[in-house]
A and B are shown apart, each in its own frame.
Chain A
Amino acid sequence: MMLARVADSLYWIGRYVERAEHMCRLSDVMLNATLDRTDAAAQVTRIVQAAVGDPETDAVMTPYEMARSLALNREDHGSITTSLSRARENARQVRDQITTETWERLNLVYLRVTGDGAAKAFQDGSSNFLNEIISDLHMFKGAADATMSHGEGWGFLLLGMYLERAQLIARLLKVCFGDDKQPPVTDHSALTSLLRMSCALEPYLRRYTADIQPRLILEFLMFDEDFPRSLRFTTSRIAEHLAGLGGYMDHARHTGPERLAGRLKARLQYADVANLQIRDASPMVGTVLDECAAIHSDIYDTFVAYSLEMRLPA
Chain B
Amino acid sequence: MGYRVAIAGRSNADSAPLPYDEMMTAEGLVRPHYSALDRRVAALGDVELAERQRTLERFFLLQGITFTVYGGESSTERIIPTDLLPRIIPAEEWAVVEAGLTQRLRALNMFLADIYGAQQILMDGVVPRDLVLSAPSYRREMQNLFVPHKAYANVCGSDLIRQPDGAFAVLEDNLRVPSGVSYMLANREASKRTFPGTFRLAGVRAIDRYPDMLLSTLKGMAADWRPNPQVVVLTPGVYNSAYYEHAYLARLMGAPLVEGRDLVVHDNMVYMRTTTGLRRIDVIYRRVDDDFIDPLTFRRDSSLGVAGLFNAYRAGNVVICNAPGTGVADDKAVYAYVPEIIKYYLGEDAILPNIETYLCREPAQLSHVLANLDKLVVKAVGASGGYGMLIGPHASARERSDFADAIRADPANYIAQPTIQLSTAPCLIDGAIDARHVDLRPFILSGEKIVVTPGALTRVALKKGSLVVNSSQGGGSKDTWILGSEEA
Instruction: Report whether B261 and A5 are in contact in the complex, using a CB–CB cutoff of 8 Å.
Output: yes
Chain A residues 105-133 with CB under 8 Å of chain B are 107-108, 111
Alpha-carbon distance A147/B421, docked complex (angstroms)? 49
Partner of B61, one of A3, A93, A111, A306: A111
Partner of B256, one of A3, A93, A248: A3
Instruction: Report whether A95 and B247 are in contact in the complex, using a CB–CB cutoff of 8 Å.
Output: yes
Instruction: Report whether B63 and A152 are in contact in the complex, using a CB–CB cutoff of 8 Å.
Output: no
**With a CB–CB cut-off of 8 A, which chain A residues contact B256?**
2-3, 6, 96
Query: Is A293 interfacial (CB-CB < 8 Å)?
Result: no
Partner of A3, one of B243, B251, B262: B262
Closest CB-CB distance, B71 to chain A, in whole Å?
Answer: 17
Query: Is B127 interfacial (CB-CB < 8 Å)?
Result: no
Of B165-173, B275-283, B342-350, B400-408, the one touching chain A: B275-283
Instruction: Report whether A1 and B64 are in contact in the complex, using a CB–CB cutoff of 8 Å.
Output: no
Chain A residues 83-97 with CB under 8 Å of chain B are 89, 92-97
**With a CB–CB cut-off of 8 A, which chain A residues contact B62?**
104, 107-108, 111
Instruction: Report whether B274 and A1 are in contact in the complex, using a CB–CB cutoff of 8 Å.
Output: yes
Instruction: Report whether B279 and A1 are in contact in the complex, using a CB–CB cutoff of 8 Å.
Output: yes
Alpha-carbon distance A248/B279, docked complex (angstroms)? 14
**With a CB–CB cut-off of 8 A, which chain A residues contact B243?**
92
Alpha-carbon distance A104/B262, docked complex (angstroms)? 26
Chain A residues 57-95 with CB under 8 Å of chain B are 89, 92-95
Alpha-carbon distance A201/B257, docked complex (angstroms)? 44
Partner of B275, one of A7, A89, A100: A7
Instruction: Report whether A311 and B277 are in contact in the complex, using a CB–CB cutoff of 8 Å.
Output: yes
Closest CB-CB distance, B279 to chain A, in whole Å?
Answer: 6
Closest chain A residue, CB of each to CB of B261: A5
| CB-CB under 8 A for A3 and B238, given A92-B243, A103-B64, A108-B62 | no
Partner of A313, one of B63, B251, B259, B278: B278
Alpha-carbon distance A303/B273, docked complex (angstroms)? 9
Partner of A304, one of B63, B237, B251, B275: B275
Alpha-carbon distance A303/B262, docked complex (angstroms)? 13
**With a CB–CB cut-off of 8 A, which chain B residues contact A312?**
266, 278
Query: Is B184 interfacial (CB-CB < 8 Å)?
Result: no
Instruction: Report whether B63 and A100 are in contact in the complex, using a CB–CB cutoff of 8 Å.
Output: yes
**With a CB–CB cut-off of 8 A, which chain A residues contact B266?**
308, 312-313
Query: Is A31 interfacial (CB-CB < 8 Å)?
Result: no
**What 0/1 pattern do residues 224 to 259 of B give for CB contact below 8 A with A?**
000000000100011000011001101100001111
Closest CB-CB distance, A106 to chain B, in whole Å?
Answer: 9
Partner of B274, one of A4, A97, A103, A107: A4
Query: Is A249 interfacial (CB-CB < 8 Å)?
Result: yes
Instruction: Report whether B273 and A3 are in contact in the complex, using a CB–CB cutoff of 8 Å.
Output: yes
Closest chain B residue, CB of each to CB of A299: B275
Alpha-carbon distance A93/B277, docked complex (angstroms)? 21
**With a CB–CB cut-off of 8 A, which chain B residues contact A156?**
275
**With a CB–CB cut-off of 8 A, which chain B residues contact A306?**
277
Partner of A249, one of B63, B250, B259, B276: B276
**With a CB–CB cut-off of 8 A, which chain A residues contact B250?**
96
| CB-CB under 8 A for A96 and B278, given A3-B256, A4-B262, A5-B262 | no
| CB-CB under 8 A for A3 and B272, given A92-B238, A95-B247, A313-B278 | yes
Tally of A interface residues using CB under 8 Å: 33
Closest CB-CB distance, B54 to chain A, in whole Å?
Answer: 15
Size class of the contact patch on chain B: 20 to 34
Closest CB-CB distance, A307 to chain B, in whole Å?
Answer: 11
User: Chain A interface secondary structure, helix, strand, loop or mixed?
Assistant: helix
**What 0/1 pattern do residues 263 to 302 of B give for CB contact below 8 A with A?**
0101000011111111100000000000000000000000
| CB-CB under 8 A for A96 and B247, given A5-B261, A107-B62 | yes
Instruction: Report whether A96 and B275 are in contact in the complex, using a CB–CB cutoff of 8 Å.
Output: no
Closest chain A residue, CB of each to CB of B246: A96
Closest chain A residue, CB of each to CB of B247: A95
**With a CB–CB cut-off of 8 A, which chain B residues contact A36?**
none
**With a CB–CB cut-off of 8 A, which chain A residues contact B271?**
313
**With a CB–CB cut-off of 8 A, which chain A residues contact B257?**
94-97
Alpha-carbon distance A7/B247, docked complex (angstroms)? 16
Closest chain A residue, CB of each to CB of B263: A3
Closest chain B residue, CB of each to CB of A104: B62
Instruction: Report whether B275 and A152 are in contact in the complex, using a CB–CB cutoff of 8 Å.
Output: yes
**What 0/1 pattern do residues 193 to 230 of B give for CB contact below 8 A with A?**
00000000000000000000000000000000000000
Closest CB-CB distance, A151 to chain B, in whole Å?
Answer: 11
Query: Is A245 interfacial (CB-CB < 8 Å)?
Result: yes
Instruction: Report whether B251 and A2 are in contact in the complex, using a CB–CB cutoff of 8 Å.
Output: no
Partner of B276, one of A95, A104, A248: A248
**With a CB–CB cut-off of 8 A, which chain B residues contact A1?**
274-276, 279
Instruction: Report whether A311 and B251 are in contact in the complex, using a CB–CB cutoff of 8 Å.
Output: no
Query: Is A250 interfacial (CB-CB < 8 Å)?
Result: yes
Alpha-carbon distance A104/B233, docked complex (angstroms)? 23
Instruction: Report whether B275 and A4 are in contact in the complex, using a CB–CB cutoff of 8 Å.
Output: yes
Alpha-carbon distance A249/B275, docked complex (angstroms)? 8
Alpha-carbon distance A94/B275, docked complex (angstroms)? 15
Closest CB-CB distance, A265 to chain B, in whole Å?
Answer: 22
**With a CB–CB cut-off of 8 A, which chain A residues contact B237?**
93
Closest CB-CB distance, B79 to chain A, in whole Å?
Answer: 12
Closest chain A residue, CB of each to CB of B269: A313
Closest CB-CB distance, A11 to chain B, in whole Å?
Answer: 10
Alpha-carbon distance A308/B279, docked complex (angstroms)? 12
**With a CB–CB cut-off of 8 A, which chain B residues contact A107?**
62-64
Instruction: Report whether B262 and A308 are in contact in the complex, using a CB–CB cutoff of 8 Å.
Output: no
Alpha-carbon distance A312/B259, docked complex (angstroms)? 19
**With a CB–CB cut-off of 8 A, which chain B residues contact A313?**
266, 271, 278
**With a CB–CB cut-off of 8 A, which chain A residues contact B264?**
308
Residue ranges of B at the interface with A (Cβ–Cβ < 8 Å): 61-64, 233, 237-238, 243-244, 247-248, 250-251, 256-259, 261-262, 264, 266, 271-279
In addition to A2-B274, A95-B244, 20 A-B residue pairs with Cβ atoms within 8 Å of each other are A1-B276, A3-B272, A3-B273, A6-B256, A92-B243, A92-B247, A93-B237, A93-B238, A95-B251, A96-B233, A97-B251, A104-B62, A107-B63, A108-B62, A245-B275, A248-B276, A306-B277, A311-B277, A312-B278, A313-B271
Contacts A/B (CB < 8 Å), 18 sampled: A1-B276, A3-B262, A3-B274, A5-B262, A6-B256, A93-B238, A95-B251, A96-B233, A96-B247, A96-B250, A96-B251, A103-B63, A111-B61, A152-B275, A304-B275, A306-B277, A308-B273, A311-B278
The 7 nearest A-B residue pairs measured at CB: A95-B247, A96-B251, A96-B250, A311-B277, A303-B275, A4-B273, A96-B257
